[in-house]
Structure 1
Amino acid sequence: MSTLSPGLRPASVRPAPPEPRVPVPPEPRAGWFRRVADRLTSADRGVLWLYLLTRISLWTTAHFARRMFPARPGTREAAPVLAPFQQWDANHYLHIARDGYFPAGAGPWTIGWDNREAFFPGYPLLLRAVHTVVPDWTAAGLLISFVAGAVAVLALARIARAYLPEDAAGRRTAALFLLSPCAVFLAVGYTEALFLAFALPAWIAAMRHRWALAAGLTALATTVRVSGLFLAAAIALAFVLSARTRRDWRAAGWLLLPALPPAAYSWYLHTHTGDWMAWKHAQERGWCRTFHAPWEAWANTWHGAFDRTQSTGYAFMFQAELAAMLVGLALVAVLLRRRRWPEAVYVALSLWALGTSYWYTSIPRATLLWWPLWIGLAALSLRHARFSTAYLCVAAPVTTIVALTFLTGRWAG
């Protein structure tokens, strides 16, 4: 038999007819949930499992609180299931989402006005949008906090893993954060969870020098809380410290983006009230946030905490404010010592804003927003096992008491 060169075929041999082609249906595209799940590492899943367990624990606490600690002693019927979650500021957000900022021509000129313009519009707008799908207002707020809290704790764990070399850094940071004294505010209709869901991914983007994304996420954070401007300052400093070439400096314009939402909100309030700083003046009227020197604010808070001018519950609240201020000052000192300049700026601006009112208000809640605090505590616990045990023994009862106090309507937070 002769050897045929490649590509040649004897004339007497006919090629076999081609086999019929059977169409292969395209593989279905994975849903968005599946795509997100595929991007989660085993460490991420462990953090989210811890998050879910702590949510179940808090919901269980709320269930028993409405039965064991009713608003009126001697009542024979428990409050509605979601009633414990709709307290204090959650009602302000509900009223804004449902009725707007100036319903039926009411405003600061109205007797008994609730000063709702003190609250930024990001959360109420989202609450109104979610309410179109979830009919119950309280349930809609809880859903926002639940999803936002999951994003926040996942981002916090990833930041911790970038800062600390230990494998357990992310999970340990998440555990200390979720068991912190004011953790209840991450699960109710408040803004802390939503703010962190924007702020922490913004910080991750800044760590990766993705300045446009960082600025966009920070702008979303400023729609939720004025603290977004403190984050914007920290990210701007991080940009200045890292920019080396002319190409790097071309991204500087993005750093102005976070200022647009507060400016737009001020313009909106001005069109209704004639006051460019209406949100600040509402805080002054409703929450004594008139400017005072830091030492005056400390003295006034100390007076409320220890001079028996307040009920025992509010005296304890002022004592907690003082303790949180000391924690914040110590945190800034540590950050400065370690030359973490952007993080120090972020926490210091927060302390300045909260520490220059007539007296301290909401500083314990603000600790939830200081992510360097929880990473630092995680670092201590990983180096010293006894610290972790001591923290949990102290934090667990305090966290439970604070949660019960809020869920029963006995503390403004």
Structure 2
Amino acid sequence: MPCSSVYVRERSRLPAPPGHLPHLPDPAARTGCVRRRLRDRVTWRLSPADRDILWLYLSTRTGIWLTAYCARWLFPSDPGTHDPGPVLAPFQHWDWDHFLHIAQQGYFPGQAGPWQADWDNREAFFPGFPLALRAVHFLVPDWALAGLSISLVSGAVAVLALARITRHHLHETAAGRRTVLFFLLSPCAVFLAVGYTEALFLALALPAWLAAQRHNWALAMTLTAAATVVRVSGLFLAAAIATHLLLTLRSTRDLRPLPWLALPALPLFLFSWYLQSHTGDWMAWKRAQERGWYRTFHTPWEAWTHTWNNAFDQAQSTGYAFMFQAELVVMAVGVALIVVLARKRRWPETVYVALSLCALGTSYWYVSIPRAALLWWPLWIVLARWSLRSHRFHTAYLCLVTPLSTVFALTFLTGRWTG
């Protein structure tokens, strides 16, 4: 009840002297009530559990920033240097350069394009993150800091949504925090803190999934379409939400949400049309992935064999071989996750993870599967469920994964991610 109403009610309990006019609320009391109402409007959506999640999130971000600071001083590219380099240099590696160039120059600066021998294949990257980077740059002049700001805010939205999705499934308050903890300590969690697409994608995809669980199909598909602007994985999310909608039709018989299913395909069509107008190829983004990252179609067993050979046959240097080993391990985890989800008849989540694995597991060799595992939120929910049943599993997970997370973070922050 509004505090002004409470004030009036409390005053009405006192008998008024004869001939006394009704007493108006004290101005100071009214000011206090207004302040409390404004404060409540700002914080009413954040429960104590949500604030606990945000504290956990900020604590892990601080740990990654501290790791980045140490990496500058302890692992410079030149061991004999006396200058550790710019503060944000550890966060500016690999794909960040592509996003930065797109944000600064566009996809085809001048007359440059894939017809040049030294082309960087930037059209392989969807425009969502570069567009956000260019927009935030108006407020944050430093490009690197702008990219980190996007990931910082997006990651906060993502972990809050992940906790709520977990509580929706497991009906336990502690489960939300446990899932977020496992997620933030996962081996590739460093990519949530750098200028990459994972955090922004999840900030759109997880609220979309949460909206779908509440049968708000219009909002779910709108957010999914926005997620597709960031990564092609948005189409996998759209297929999962479509599966969920079709399953609900057995009980609701409501066909009105069906047209919303087509919305996530619109960003892909517009991006393909834009690239076709410059290159003459409707699949220019796919061709760029094939040229730059060997994402040509191969059977799953061929992809596994090529990855295995590069991981264990001494065909690569130790750094590259280690990364191929990580690819194999996470592929096996993904397949096991599909089996678990299918046995539990969680068909929408099964569709989402299966499509992701099909896309990643049919290239010449495996590329970026550990990073993609960050987007498999059912994995973190399943692990959290198991840990709530077994304290030993909880302890084992933290003891095994935390060192791996540190190693992977240092690998990226020192520029050694791909060998």
TM-score, with structure 2 as normaliser:
0.91
Residue in structure 2 matching 1:192, options 194, 198, 206: 198
* Equivalent in the alignment of 1:88: 94
SS at match of 1:102: coil
1:339-381 C-alpha deviation (Å, 9 max, x unpaired): 0000000000000000000000000011100000000000111
1:232-290 C-alpha deviation (Å, 9 max, x unpaired): 00000100000247762111111111110011000000001000000000000000000
- Measured in 1, the distance between the counterparts of 2:207 and 2:172 equals 21
* Equivalent in the alignment of 1:265: 271
Identity of aligned residues (%): 68
* Equivalent in the alignment of 2:163: 157
- Displacement of 1:79 in angstroms is 1.1
- Measured in 2, the distance between the counterparts of 1:43 and 1:360 equals 38
Tell me whether 1:104 sits opposite 2:120 in the alignment.
no
Tell me whether 1:411 sits opposite 2:411 in the alignment.
no
- Measured in 2, the distance between the counterparts of 1:147 and 1:395 equals 25
- Measured in 1, the distance between the counterparts of 2:261 and 2:375 equals 21
* Equivalent in the alignment of 1:202: 208
Tell me whether 1:360 sits opposite 2:366 in the alignment.
yes
- Displacement of 1:219 in angstroms is 0.4
* Equivalent in the alignment of 1:291: 297
- Displacement of 1:64 in angstroms is 0.6
Tell me which amino acid in the other structure corresponds to 1:286: G
Tell me whether 1:177 sits opposite 2:187 in the alignment.
no
1:278-332 C-alpha deviation (Å, 9 max, x unpaired): 0000000000000001100000000000000001011000000000000000000
* Equivalent in the alignment of 1:340: 346
Q: How does 1:10-409 map to 2 (within 5 A)?
A: 35-244=41-250, 248-409=254-415
- Measured in 2, the distance between the counterparts of 1:193 and 1:139 equals 15
- Displacement of 1:165 in angstroms is 3.2
- Displacement of 1:395 in angstroms is 0.6
- Measured in 2, the distance between the counterparts of 1:128 and 1:253 equals 32
- Displacement of 1:70 in angstroms is 0.5
SS at match of 1:105: coil
- Displacement of 1:158 in angstroms is 0.7
Change (3 A) 1:68 1:275: same
1:9-60 C-alpha deviation (Å, 9 max, x unpaired): xxxxxx9797898997887689999744321111111111000000000000
- Measured in 1, the distance between the counterparts of 2:21 and 2:103 equals 67
- Measured in 2, the distance between the counterparts of 1:105 and 1:333 equals 49
- Measured in 1, the distance between the counterparts of 2:199 and 2:38 equals 22
Answer with 189-198 or 23-32: which moved more.
Answer: 23-32
Change (3 A) 1:33 1:223: farther
- Measured in 2, the distance between the counterparts of 1:306 and 1:298 equals 12
- Measured in 2, the distance between the counterparts of 1:32 and 1:225 equals 37
Change (3 A) 1:100 1:31: farther
- Measured in 2, the distance between the counterparts of 1:235 and 1:408 equals 38
Where does the alignment leave 5 or more consecutive residues of structure 1 unmatched?
1-14
Change (3 A) 1:30 1:91: farther
Deviation beyond 6 Å, 4+ runs, structure 1:
15-27, 29-34
Kindly indicate whether the alpha-carbon contact (under 8 Å) linking 2:323 and 2:418 is maintained by their aligned counterparts in 1: no
- Measured in 2, the distance between the counterparts of 1:32 and 1:287 equals 52
- Measured in 1, the distance between the counterparts of 2:39 and 2:270 equals 34
- Measured in 1, the distance between the counterparts of 2:314 and 2:37 equals 59
Aligned residues between the structures:
399
- Measured in 1, the distance between the counterparts of 2:199 and 2:114 equals 29
Change (3 A) 1:272 1:335: same
* Equivalent in the alignment of 1:7: none
TM-score, with structure 1 as normaliser:
0.93
- Measured in 1, the distance between the counterparts of 2:73 and 2:38 equals 40
- Measured in 2, the distance between the counterparts of 1:219 and 1:281 equals 23
Tell me which amino acid in the other structure corresponds to 2:278: H
Q: Which has the larger radius of gyration?
A: 1
- Measured in 2, the distance between the counterparts of 1:306 and 1:32 equals 61
Change (3 A) 1:246 1:181: closer
Change (3 A) 1:240 1:111: same
- Measured in 2, the distance between the counterparts of 1:326 and 1:169 equals 25
